[in-house]
Amino acid sequence: FDGFKRLRRCHYRETKGWIFVNFCYDVLNYKYPSRREVVYGRKGMVCTSQSLAAQAGLDIIKAGGNAVDAALATAACMIVLEPTSNGFGSDAFAQVWMDGKLYGLNASGFSPALLTREALMDKGYEQMPKFGWEPVTVPGAVSGWKKLHDRFGTLSWEKIFEPAIRYAEEGYVVTPVISKMWRQAWDDYEESLSPELFEEWRKVFAPDGHTPRAGEIWSSKVHAETFRELAATDCESLYRGRLADEIDSYSRTTGGYLRKGDLAAYEAEWVQPVSTSYRGYDVWEIPPNGHGIVALMALNIMECMQFAAGHDSEEVVHRQLEAMKLAYSDGQQYIADPRSMKVTTEQMLSKVYAAYRAANIGQRAAKPQYGNPASGGTIYLCTADGAGNMVSFIQSNYCNFGSGIVVPKTGIALQNRGFNFYMDPERANCVGPHKKTYHTIIPGFLTRNGKAIGPFGVMGGFMQPQGHVQVMMNLIDFHMNPQEALDAPRWQWTGDMNIEIEQGFPMDMAGRLKARGHHVTVATDSMDFGRGQLIFRDENGILTGATEPRAGGAVAAW
């Protein structure tokens, strides 16, 4: 069956051989159906990596809310149901298709005014620390919630936060995937944080002296109270109220840089999404400081090539890897706070520049090098309502719970997004006051001929653009259905000449890629290859949902 499934993806579409292969596939698929099928709906749909959150979001649609209300309720639930990946201290990005138009939201926070390169150098740092106060930036997600609610929301905050408050107070059963990430965070913080800071994290997230095991119940009264505070203040308290005072006080007494003035000065902003055309489709991302543009640059390079072979061909994988290395090298060199960037988005997305980069791809692996465009712990969710409105939303604390800093009496776990800053003053992304860093979280959206197809996303740090490229090519180039596109085995470039591939590829794939000069590792754990979801809507209003097998996620449909 797997052999016929792979042959079916090839481009020899009208030959007698392909027709025979397709017939055999259909017969076997009828007898031995896939373990995970796409899910259909018409009146509403929510996809995310935690089934309880997806159900809560769908309940909001059933209660009369729209896709934005559902996204906000799901995002709030995820703070409680998957605290290993996001929290009140997160950043967020969103793309919203509403009434036939696409909107972009950048809710990534900037660095504190006191966080300067000189201050870090005086403390002996030669590179950004991963944990503690140094990498903490202003939380942007809650401000993003407010922006979305003010513009598109229809239900009250009390109604939207109700499911999250219930799970926080009553508790819920922790799943195996989340339990594993929770334990890893304990190990990281126990080694890296001061006893004082680690104790605050333990009080909230390991109150019984250990992290929750799979099948155990975790609850948090302080999370419930913080949600009530946000609802009562229209989400202002975290920036200009009691919660801001708590953050300021704790930062001052424990050696932090974050102040109430930083919080009060921040506001999420609406942005114009950027796109590239790919074989008749338009793929949309949020512009820098996010690195969604890396996925678009890689697709531009891949569009310069044609593929006679399918997804499992080592020639195809080789070209994908080389394109991703080139796009990522440019992204890591140039992406920063837009005010600091030395090239424009238009230059980076130039088709002429993509053709120049594509010409550099040969038969053997090459060391990644950036070009000159001027010369030529995350959660993702998507929602859709019966009126055709859709949301692609992502929020993250970055490394598991983030910095490890938890503000007493609030449940606020602060992110460590500043870890992506450089200390080199010559780099556009060098650390500085009130500056946004290079950002890894990217919500995607797909359209064709000006009409929405739907939202998609793949979580996982620097895997995200690589996941976007692979899922889009699986759908467009290799003719997979949405669930197949997520299920298919993945590769990832991890730096220099190093790549990892999942075990689902043909057994000899690693050897053939090594022969081309790649340094290949076959991964034993799929957690690092992204965790994605998508919802597509056809011209008849039928919703098709798919969710990542690597995440234990769910599609809730109506």
Which residues are tagged catalytic? Answer: 378
And the tokens for 249? 């006080």
Inter-residue contact 371 to 321 (CB < 8 Å): no
DSSP bridge pairs for 556? 46
DSSP bridge pairs for 97? 102, 390
Q: Which residues contact 161 (CB under 8 A, 6 or more apart)?
A: 73, 76, 227, 228, 230, 231
Q: How many residues does the chain have?
A: 558
Please, what's the largest Cα pairwise distance for the chain?
74
**Closest to 460 in 3D by CA, of 426, 484, 490, 430:** 490
CA distance 382 to 385: 11
Other CB atoms closer than 10 Å to residue 309's CB: what's the count? 16
And the tokens for 488? 């298919």
CA distance 401 to 87: 8
CA distance 429 to 436: 8
Inter-residue contact 60 to 160 (CB < 8 Å): yes
CA dist 154 to 45, 64, 68, 536, Å? 17, 8, 8, 23
Phi and psi angles of residue 543, each rounded to the nearest 5 degrees, phi first: -95, 135
What is the 3-state secondary structure of 443-466?
A: CEEEEECCEEEEEEEEECHHHHHH
And the tokens for 489? 């085995």
Other CB atoms closer than 10 Å to residue 115's CB: what's the count? 26
Other CB atoms closer than 10 Å to residue 23's CB: what's the count? 11
Per DSSP bridges, beta strands 378-385 and 281-285 are unpaired
DSSP bridge pairs for 540? none
Angle (CA) 382 554 4, round 5°: 100
From its phi and psi, is residue 111 left (phi > 0), alpha (psi between -120 and 50) or beta? beta
CA distance 67 to 56: 12
CA distance 113 to 3: 58
Per DSSP bridges, beta strands 498-501 and 519-522 are parallel
Please report which helix (H) or strand (E) contains residue 316, including its range.
Answer: helix 314-334
